[in-house]
Amino acid sequence: MRLSDGLETKQKLEIYDPCINILDRMLPKISGEKVCRWIREDMKSMMPVIMLTAKVEVKSRIKGFKLGADNYVVKPFSAAKLKVRVEAVLRRTESRCGKLRFTGFMIKPAKGEAWIHKSQLELTHYELKLQHLFM
């Protein structure tokens, strides 16, 4: 999904759990840096983050990685370059995104979580395994 600012990004990330987040460092309202820090510190999420930026200094890149970015792409860039970076990050993090969905129900077997219409369910380990088997 395409979002226009950092506030909207935070709101959507609280609802959805995307497999990857491509985050512009210079977002309006709430910067991409603050959103990245929020993902790591407040959400406690291991969601992969690729930071996009026009800042080319090494110091700037280091700051992005320290905030929790998994990869860093400097503007301007080609779509092919971004695609390869996304594929590389997803290869390393594919188990995180092992989600199964069916009509409002979602399970994340690797995380041991089950959700229905954005509300987390309290299932035992055995119940979760059965649900995974049935899906």
Residues 98 and 112 sit within 8 Å (Cβ to Cβ) = no
> pTM for the whole thing?
0.71
Query: Interhelix angle for 32-41 vs 58-67, to 10°?
Result: 30
Top-confidence residue, 40 or 107:
40
Contact between residue 11 and residue 39 where contact means Cβ atoms under 8 Å apart:
no
Q: How confident is the model at residue 75 (pLDDT cuts 50, 70, 90)?
A: very high
Contact 114, 129 (CB under 8 A): no
Q: Show the domains of the chain with their CATH numbers.
A: 6-96 (3.40.50.2300), 98-134 (no CATH)
Q: How confident is the model at residue 95 (pLDDT cuts 50, 70, 90)?
A: low
Pairing of strands 113-116, 71-74: unpaired
Q: Which of 15-24, 26-35, 50-59, 109-118 has the lowest mean pLDDT?
A: 109-118
pLDDT at 14: 83
Structure tokens at 102: 């069916």
State how far the alpha carbon of 122 is from the alpha carbons of 89, 103, 128, in Å: 30, 19, 9
